Structure 1
Amino acid sequence: MSEFPAQRGTPGWLLPGALVLRLMLVTALALALSGALATWLVTQALEREAVRQLVGQQTDEVEVVARLLASKIEQSQKLLRTVAEGITPGMLKSPSALEWLLQQGLPAAQFFDTMQVAHASGQVRLSLRAGHLEQAADLDPAERDALRRTLVGGKPLVCELIAGGRPNEARVMFTMPLHHTNGSVLGVVAGALRLQSQSLLPPSMAWPTRDNSEFIVFTRDGTILSHSDPRRILGQVRDEAGLAPVYARWLAQAQPVVGRGITDVQPDYIASMAGMPLPQWIVARVSRTQALLAPLRDAQHQAWWLAIAGMALCLLLALAAMGWMAQPLAQLTHRSRHWLQTGTGLQPLADMDWPRVDMVWSRAGDEVGELLRAFQGLAQQGRRQQMRKDLLDGQLQAVLDKSSAGIVISRHGLLDKVSRQACLMLGYAAHDELQGRPVSSLYASDADYAQVADLVRTEMVAHGAFDGDICLRRKNGSPLWVRVQGQGVRPDELRGGMVWILENISAARQAQVQQSRDRRHDALTQLPNRAAFDERLGLLLAQRAAEGAVQGAKGNPPPDDGVVLFLDLDHFTEVNDIAGHDAGDDVLRHVARLLGTQVRQIGWVARLGGDEFAVVLPGCALARGQAVAEQLRAAVQAWEHSYQGRRFTLGVSIGLVALDASLQDVASVLYAADMACHEAKRAGRNRVQTRAVTASGRMTLRPA
């Protein structure tokens, strides 16, 4: 371990690596989810318990009120029975006696708002309303019906409701049969109580109060007898929100009215009902769920905030603890990254300046200590392998430098080794300037490198080696043509590296290019010669024929194919005869430059031989070609040649032919242009003569 020098300056606290950060994230998510789930479960349980308690409380309330009202009904019946016991058979025959008895003789009769006494025959003997006599004809039909049913059945009755014109006139009627000693029905006595009276359902009755809640008493048919809102009295339960669906289900099930309370929990309401069997009344309480649970919801919100604060605190503590426990691993990661970047190895455990607790953990044999010892072993192996590699590299470079051939070894697209001869060939002073650079830097562009790379890859796959000519770029940017022979370091693996042997063929390549140029260009004027003219015009004719066929298939008119000019200098032999061939050569060179300058943007010029030239104007219309030909003729005529004190004026005869479908090959085009030029000569020279093809295929001449 002493081989690894100590490295100082390591930060005391390091950010944990990606793995620990992911674990911390998972821990944070798990803690947050578990806390949120636990809080949600607790709040839901609290809400259910609160609803259960509200349901129990509300059910008890309606049962108590139902029993209270039932006791009032029973008390009223007992008072009426007391009145009935005080009426003798003889009194039924004496209305005055009945009147005295009910007004003064029996205090219990004062309890009722109205009193009626009827004989077994159905005749009403006495009718009192508020202590005053009234006519039997003024009785309500419902009251008569109650009296009749009691006489027929012989049993006491409690009528559900006798409605008047207004809510304060609604009343409940109690009947009690009068019996002979033998048990037969002698008559009937009836007493009625106003619904809103103190004896039954007074407006001031103290219902169990609660905000956002209504207490309702209604009959079996749904008529409201008492309501927290007085305006709803004698209304219908079917119009009460929250109670209407419960009442509808109760009617649909045809359940009897019993004293036990039932409660229905709805999303927005809690409705409780309890029955009064004797009058067939139902007591109900309807509460708004949201309003009842509002205090609980506020408490739940506070609980959520407290839970979030607690979870955040626990999360911070957990993350801080994990970050602290992960410091040995972070320190080890920092050292290993530094080792990979610099290759200096990991320092010993004792020199790493870790906190004492971290050193205890590492020495205790945990994962970090095991990794540290493994890295130290790898560092030692890497140092020995690097020493062997440096030795082999030095030996290989010495062998390459002694070689007279240009040798390059590439690996993974980089220059690994370069011989001295290859450096000189590429214009570099030492191999250090090239080693480690991309192979693409030896090419003029990335496109050239990609093209050569595809060619090399194809050859290597097909033949296992590469042999060909490649154009590289020297350090100064000049091109370098080399013949390259390439072979893989490992024949079965191209990525294992390639060995290239370079041979400089720039001189031979330049000579070859020059020879090719000499074969295709006129040596005197540097214009394309007759062979180059024939080849280039032939390609143009073939291209025009193909485009014409495509346009014809589409139904479009054929495009303008262009014109060809045949030029022959007038009186050029006089220059050769008088001034000599050197002057003639100078004239030809000047005319070549003049023609090239005039048509450089729209065509090209060739020397056919002697003083004959040809100008090709691709895609040029006939009228435009004639104008250009006249421009060339005027330019040649305007130039005056002076040689050894003598001046010479030249002219040029030009034959023009338009390229069309009748001219299929170079020979026919050149023959037509030559004939047009001869016609210009015969017509007096220094003019332009156009040769056209008629519809029958015959050629005619027309002046320009």
Structure 2
Amino acid sequence: MTVLPEKWPDSLQADDSDGDSSAAVASWLPGPLVRKMLVVACLAIVLAGAVAAALVSYLAGQDSMQRLVSQQDDEVELVARLLASKIEQSQKVLATAAEDVSPQILQEVAPSQHLLQQMLPTLRFFDAMQVARKDGTLVANLRLGEVDKPSNLDPPERDYLLRTLVEGKPLVSSLIGARRDDARIMFTMPLLHGQGRVIGAIAGVMRLQSQGLLPHSLALPARSDSRLIVLTQEGVILSHPQRERVLGSVRDEPGLAALFARWQQDGGFSAQRHSSEQDGYVVSASPVAMPQWLVVRISDAQSMRAPLLGGARRVGAVVGAAIALVMACAALLMLWLARPLALLRRQALALLEQQAREQGAAGMHERADLGADAGHWPHAQGEVDDVVRACRQLIARRLVSQHNWDMVVRQLRAVLEHAPMGIVLTRGDHVEIVSQQGCRMLGYTTRELQQLPLQALFAPPEGGGDSRATFEQVHQAFSVHGAFEGEFPLLRKDGTTLWVRAQGRTTNPHEHVTRGTVWVLEDCTAAREARQQTHWEHNHDALTQLLNRGAFEQRLQRLLDERAQRVGNGAGDAGAGVLLFLDMDYLTVINDLAGHAAGDDALRYLARLIESEVRQQGWAARLGGDEFAVLLPGCTLERGRAMAEQLRAAIAAWEPAYQGRSFTVGVSIGVVAVDARQGRVATLLHQADMACYAAKRAGRNQVVVLPAGQAATASATAAVASK
């Protein structure tokens, strides 16, 4: 299939023997045919508009203004209901959090950390949360996901907590804070136990202009003739199209000051929506019951009336018939004038059919003179001649594009024939394309593998059973991790088993794995047999198959000794490479919410991910728990930093899904240079651990390179600690 360019190149507009036609194309004026059609269309539109304007002007009434006012009232009521639903949603979220706070948690000596872990999803909704006991003691003050001192709680917030403990009912506070960036609303909920006995209170605080309450986008779009405002019963503006007006007084608001004063004289806001016109403004208002707010839309009355032409339904049929008659006449004229274009379309379709017949008879070969021999091309001065010239040159360009496409196909075939690893492309769980190395690994020919079901290539498990179990495990890995990194057995044509290390990626991240997948296969049968040996198990971690801490320290010590010997012989400098210390972030959340089996699966996938990123330049090990280490021999510190950042980005992009929930996993990485003069593995690991700890303190999911001065301090500290 040939894809036409969105913009014609200049070559399509310059190759023609007629000088006057080229000048017409270069001109910005439309061609003769288009000018005729535009004249007819303009005449039809002017005639229809004149008839419609006369009829509509005669029959239009004042009901248009009433409809606009009613529409504005509906808009204001809708915004008020939206705010009420946000308040109700916030209370429901707080009530859900209150159900998770048990009396045992309140009686703990230091429950803040426990509550922080338990209420982490709720803390993402509120900006701050507090929990108090029945006696008024504040046991937790959580702000922005961190534990804060109880003494930092503002007095108004403490007062609302105490009122909730005394009254035993939920409360929504009035506005707290006098500055725009500090203004907030507090929601409180009593903690009940047994027969409704109040044992404490929980509160959630949201910033006034947060996304969950009153974002600035609520008042948009800002128009000079209309303003959407949210205010309190005291007249304090909470939301306004102009940011500087937030927390200002309604008494300074044009068109609303006098009306608000009258509302206060009448006893405050009414429970129903209402609208009125005063001082040249149309004002629509609707109350929000729970926080006792008022949503107001102020529109300039003159601007509302200016564009109105009315909407008379009684003459709609007459106006429609008149416009239809005019447009029908214009359409007939335009069809007559566009006859050359119809002939051009017919000729183009015939050309496509001829090309299809020639491609079917002679493969992908096309003749360069096809445009000249494909019959009579229509001729009409202006656009038709331009399109004919473009079609002729498009045929020539298509030959060039086909040649380029054939070259790309030949290059792809060369890659598939000479790639040193097996490459398999599957679609719909069937094999579609296989490289020559993949065919040799499996013992099949290319034709035998094409359209073969993928499940037919999976070998049964070593313990016996159906190969479908392995096939389902692969699908499960895609559903959890969005990709596959691991090993599985394949069945050769001769019936023997081939163990491969496989990397599977979908051709489109937004499609299911069965739509299209690219597999890269490496024969790991010998490596798997080596792992069966006792010495391999002694040096490798059983869960992740990476080096364990002891084997990693031995390799690192050998590297230090070899480099120190070379330095002593004057054969090189003391730099031996770079050491990375990795500590996984938020992995405990998977263990707590999805179970330890899911946590072990995540560790296995992380190990494969780390190994695939660094195995060409170094080796990786699991030091214990969720801590890993990577040694990059002969690597510069700058290259090590780049590798660490690449690792961090790859892990941050992975979002596993367990039990129907998606999880976010990050990694904090410490980077240090390996210096043979230090001589001790413990010193290097301590330095890398300190850099990783600095990354944790800096906010997690970061890479920190330990500076030379701090590295020296860490070395001294480690030396003192070892004595």
TM over 0.5: no
**If the length of structure 2 is used for normalisation, what is the TM-score?**
0.34
